[in-house]
Amino acid sequence: MWRKRERGGLRWTAVLLGVVFAGAVLAQDEAKPNEQVTGTGGRFLHYSSKQVNVDLTEQDQETLQRVRDHRYAAGLEPALDAVLTTLRDQGYVATSIDRDFHLIEARHDEVLVSKGRETLRGLLKSKMALPGKPDHQTTEALVLLMPATDGQGVLARTRFRRTIWDSNGDSRTSVVSEAETYEQFYAALAAHLSR
């Protein structure tokens, strides 16, 4: 009789573990339609990093199209120099300057947590599994200048793209669509051009 109960208990334990495992597998986050995921990183055993590229929603695209362009009463060369100065003042480092096509690429790297917090998190992660938290980011700026179609001034088109890495080495990249980012850049650029 004892053996029957023992076997029955083992069966129920196996069934219960199977249900829990199946539930965990089925409960994995479905990929969102506007996200492209490269690498899975592993669900139960973290063996690789995961990169997620997030496309803009329709509303974000509309916002970006409304704020990405700005017009200035200036020539191409003075505007190009002002863009470089503005980006440097905002912490960006120019990675590519094409004076023939009036194109500037720059990047700004930023640490999001203190060294002490980073160290503490590393120690805790060595003892137990912790979810990833954002710890650094890179924002890339792409600025294109062209003569205005009516020949009066210059048109600037800008795109900022941000990649955020977490403490697991996973990254999430998206085009910045917040109007404030573009407004701050263009206001600073206007101030440099008025000097």
Give the number of domains in the chain.
2
The reply to whether 7 and 71 lie within a common domain is no
Residue 3 CA neighbour count, 13 Å, CB half: 0
Contact between residue 145 and residue 154 where contact means Cβ atoms under 8 Å apart: yes
Question: What pLDDT does residue 195 have?
Answer: 83
How many helical (H) and strand (E) elements, i.e. helices and strands, does the chain have? 5, 8
- Residue pair 162/181 in contact (Cβ under 8 Å)? The answer is no
pLDDT of residue 160: 98
- The reported pTM is 0.76
Give SS3 for 116: helix
Q: Is the domain of 22 the same as that of 71?
A: no
> Is 97 in the same domain as 185?
yes
Which residues of the chain are under the pLDDT cut of 50?
A: 1-2, 19-29
Residues in the chain: 195
Give me the domain span that covers residue 10.
1-30
